[in-house]
Amino acid sequence: PFHLLFFFFFLLFFFFLFFSSPSLFFFFLFFFPFFSLLFFSLFFFFFFFLFFSFSSFFFSSSFSFFFLSFFFFFFF
């Protein structure tokens, strides 16, 4: 799936920014609300994606994809 690669690269970018320069990371996080909102929405969306991928045995794939798209459009 392309959205999984997308969020994986986004998380890699955020962790690289955090480990390379934490001051810059916290500067972006606290002084740019859009960046912090983006960061936390990506984190929540990644958490929900992991949750629905692990619970794919109980839910159908279309149901989980519907919830993933709903959370994506809700946070963004």
Q: What domain range includes position 70?
A: 2-75
Nearest residue to 48 (alpha-carbon basis) of 21, 70, 16: 70
Confidence (pLDDT) at 3: 62
Strand ranges (DSSP E) for the chain?
Answer: none
Indicate the number of domains in the chain: 1
Confidence (pLDDT) at 67: 58
Distance CA 43, CA 10 (A): 10
pTM of full prediction above 0.75:
no
Residue 6 CA: distances (Å) to CA of 10, 23, 26, 41, 65: 6, 25, 23, 14, 15
Q: pLDDT digit string (tens) for 19-72?
A: 666 666 666 556 666 666 666 677 777 766 666 666 655 555 555 555 556 655
Under 8 Å between Cβ of 71 and 45: yes
Confidence (pLDDT) at 60: 52
